[in-house]
Amino acid sequence: MKFIKSFFAIAFILPMFIFAQTKKNITIQNNSALDRKETIVSIKWETILLHYPQIDTTGFVVINSVTKKQIPFQLEHRGNKTIQNLLVQVDVKAKSTLSLLIQKGKPEIFVAKTYARYVPERKDDFAWENDKIAFRAYGKALENTKENAFGFDVWVKRTDRLILNERYKRNEYHIDHGDGMDYYHVGFSLGAGNMAPYVNDSIYYSANYRQWKVLDNGPLRSTFQLTYAAWNAGGINVKATKTISLDAGSQLNKIENVYSFEGDKPLPVVVGIIKRPENGTIALNEKQGIMGYWEPTHGADGTTGVGSILTTPLSNMMVTNKQILAKTEVKNNTPIVYYTGAAWDKAGKITDAKQWQNYLNNFYQQINEPLIINVK
């Protein structure tokens, strides 16, 4: 009898032991001296499947292993039918490690924090936002009108709600109704960090975008592509596709541009920020590729900070009468990645030039000291 009881005890304990042994932890390690707040972490879906082969994409939750609370997540497709990445939004203190678990369960409904859409009712605008800031690019229908502009536009916000649809429905962008407004001027410039060929000391602007495609639309990251028709850049025939991502919690977009052009030589390009006639604060760091601008205050509308961070070596940075430019080069059909965005003092988070430059410097550090992810 003792043998039989022992056998059944072992038979009962063994599955529990096996389950415990197969339980996986996702560790997110922050080796930097910066706290990482509201950070979006991307984990390859093939890695998740390797460790969780039976995962039900409609019935799992991500848990903080210490607090036991659910973590917001998104299944990222990047325009594909199959899942490419698992995105999670986390806080990880400096020099520390966060542990997450994946288990069966009903995910909580987390508020969407990013959004992007084509806006046919406003002359082919393409607009996008997160819980911090909003932007738009201009489409074909705006060409040959007095409103036409070439660069990226900024819509400042002082709410974490998604407000694009409300503003377009109201058809009034230039008055702050308590959530922000559009007072940023783009005109014949690169606006808030657009990129264009720079040949023989001249910028060659494309026409406005011709095609759009949404690859993912929140809740934590929205990604889309804008395609531009061929144009003549100082005797070079050029085409461009721009893939833009905006993460929840971030002031900056990630932009991946692919230029197609004739010839074997790299194409010189610039990232530009429009400069105002009045005095603002300009901070340039050629070595690290950081270009920061704290605009002059625009009356009662407040102050906008604009900045770009390039990830490729620069030949130089320039300040002209009209724009602040960072010059680099691209290879034919080879992606070039950089970051660009803005902040508004009335949002109450970044309220002066020093804070804006600190934000850009910290963002640069985060790019170069990424969080380390392990599933074990």
Task: In whole angstroms, give the CA distance from residue 88 to residue 45.
Answer: 12
- pLDDT of 3 higher than 60: no
Question: What's 95's DSSP letter?
Answer: T
Q: Are strands 202-203 and 192-199 parallel, antiparallel or unpaired?
A: antiparallel
Mean pLDDT of the region 173-197? 95
Q: How confident is the model at residue 23 (pLDDT cuts 50, 70, 90)?
A: low
- pLDDT of 297 higher than 80: yes
- pLDDT of 7 higher than 50: no
What mean pLDDT value characterizes the chain? 93
What is the per-residue pLDDT across 71-93, written as a single tens digit (0 to 9) for each? 999 999 999 999 999 999 999 99
Give the pLDDT of residue 15: 39
C-alpha pair distances (Å), 276 with each of 74, 183, 293, 297, 306:
39, 13, 10, 10, 12
Is the distance from CB of 131 to CB of 113 less than 8 angstroms? yes
Is the distance from CB of 193 to CB of 152 less than 8 angstroms? yes
Mean pLDDT of the region 233-250? 97
Give the pLDDT of residue 77: 98
What is the per-residue pLDDT across 28-38, written as a single tens digit (0 to 9) for each? 999 999 999 99
Output the pTM of the full model.
0.93
Is the distance from CB of 49 to CB of 102 less than 8 angstroms? no
Tokens of 158: 């002082």
- pLDDT of 9 higher than 50: no
Is the distance from CB of 36 to CB of 29 less than 8 angstroms? no
CB-count exposure of residue 234 (10 Å: 0-12, 13-18, 19+):
middle
What is the per-residue pLDDT across 49-68, written as a single tens digit (0 to 9) for each? 999 999 999 999 999 999 99
Tokens of 132: 């911090």
What is the per-residue pLDDT across 306-350, written as a single tens digit (0 to 9) for each? 999 999 999 999 999 999 999 999 999 999 999 999 999 999 999
* Residue 362 identity (one-letter amino acid): N
Backbone angles phi and psi of 113, in degrees to 5: -120, 0
Query: Which residue is listed with tokens 């002031």?
Result: 251
C-alpha pair distances (Å), 160 with each of 132, 153, 163, 268:
6, 19, 9, 38
Give Cα 258 to chain centroid, integer Å.
17
Higher local confidence (pLDDT), 302 or 173: 302
- pLDDT of 24 higher than 60: yes
Task: In whole angstroms, give the CA distance from residue 163 to residue 133.
Answer: 10
Higher local confidence (pLDDT), 264 or 140: 140
- pLDDT of 94 higher than 80: yes
Exposure string (b/e) for 158-173, b if CB count within 10 Å is 16 or more?
beeebbbeebbeeeeb
- pLDDT of 5 higher than 60: no
Q: Say what percent of the chain tops pLDDT 70.
A: 94
DSSP string, 119-164: EGGGTTEEEEEESS-EEEE-BGGGTTSTT---SBEEEEESSSS--H
Q: Say what percent of the chain tops pLDDT 90.
A: 89
For 155, residues 6+ apart whose C-beta sits below 8 A from its C-beta are 127, 129, 133, 134, 135, 136, 164, 167, 173, 180, 181, 182, 184
Q: Spell out the domains of the chain, with CATH numbers in brackets.
A: 17-108 (2.60.40.1180), 114-368 (2.70.98)
Give the pLDDT of residue 376: 84
